[in-house]
């Protein structure tokens, strides 16, 4: 979980963050499943559609609103369509495109799910933090987010002091260790 180049404090914080990163979404998922029978990704999609008049969006717009990749969105919409939460329709203006339509079942589901979800977020996160802690937590998230975005698209330095800088093929020793990963 940790390398040799983090301080003891940093290691502890890092381990805690890894746990939060895993457990918090899992808990939100459980809560949504238990009552309204929605997954967190389903909830996020439905929120976006329900906020728009007519409950319709082009996949591209939906993807931008969620900051999701096209492929992920498409896969998710296929599953949600199977469940009857959304539907797909041809797009009037553009022959290439489609329109995602919120069904009545989808609208019912999101309207039933929203209050309890917000309550859970407050209970697990914000009710636990003092005003100063909330503020500090927000600043930390914003700072990390900025780092993620800055290091995101550019030359994308693979970074790190170890081997890969040269772009050479991996030495024979490694061959066995890195084939099957996507």
Partner DNA sequence: GAAGATTGAAGGGTCAATCTTA
Partner DNA sequence: TAAGATTGACCCTTCAATCTTC
Helix, strand, coil share of the chain (percent; to 5)? 65, 5, 30
Which is it for strands 98-102 and 86-90: parallel, antiparallel or unpaired?
Answer: antiparallel
Q: Which of 36, 42, 41, 28 is nearest to 102 (CA)?
A: 42
- Residue 151 touches DNA, criterion: CB under 7 A: no
Q: Which stretch binds its own copies (CB under 8 A): 4-12, 56-64, 88-96?
A: 4-12
Q: C-beta of 97: minimal distance to DNA in Å?
A: 3
User: How many residues lie near DNA (CB under 7 A)?
Assistant: 32
Q: Tokens representing 141? A: 């998230």
**SS3 state of residue 162:** coil
- Residue 103 touches DNA, criterion: CB under 7 A: no
Whether 18 contacts 26, CB under 8 Å: no
Residues 99-158 that bind its own copies (CB under 8 A): 105-106, 108-129, 132-134, 136-148, 151-152, 158
Binding mask 39-78 toward its own copies (x if CB under 8 A, else -) reads x--x-x--xx-xx--------------xx-----------
**Alpha-carbon distances of 16 from 22, 31, 127, 144, 157, rounded to whole Å:** 10, 22, 18, 16, 28
Selected binder of DNA within 50, 56, 98, 120 (CB under 7 A):
98
Binding site residues, DNA, CB under 7 A: 22, 26, 30, 39, 41-42, 58-60, 68-79, 88, 91, 94-99, 180-182
């Amino acid at each position: 979980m940790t390398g040799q180049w983090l301080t003891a404090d940093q290691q502890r914080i890092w381990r805690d963050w890894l746990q939060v990163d895993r457990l918090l979404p899992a808990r939100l998922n459980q809560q949504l499943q238990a009552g309204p029978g929605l997954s967190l990704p389903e909830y996020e999609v439905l929120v976006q559609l329900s906020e728009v008049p007519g409950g319709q969006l082009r996949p591209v717009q939906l993807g931008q609103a969620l900051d999701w990749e096209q492929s992920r969105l498409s896969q998710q919409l296929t599953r949600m369509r199977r469940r009857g939460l959304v539907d797909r329709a041809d797009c009037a203006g553009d022959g290439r495109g489609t329109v995602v339509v919120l069904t009545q079942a989808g609208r019912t589901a999101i309207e039933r799910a929203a209050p309890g979800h917000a309550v859970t977020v407050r209970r697990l996160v914000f009710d636990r933090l003092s005003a100063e802690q909330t503020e500090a937590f927000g600043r930390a998230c914003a700072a990390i987010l900025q780092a993620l975005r800055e290091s995101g698209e550019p030359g994308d330095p693979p970074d790190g002091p170890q081997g890969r800088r040269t772009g050479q093929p991996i030495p024979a020793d490694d061959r066995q260790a890195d084939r099957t990963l996507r």
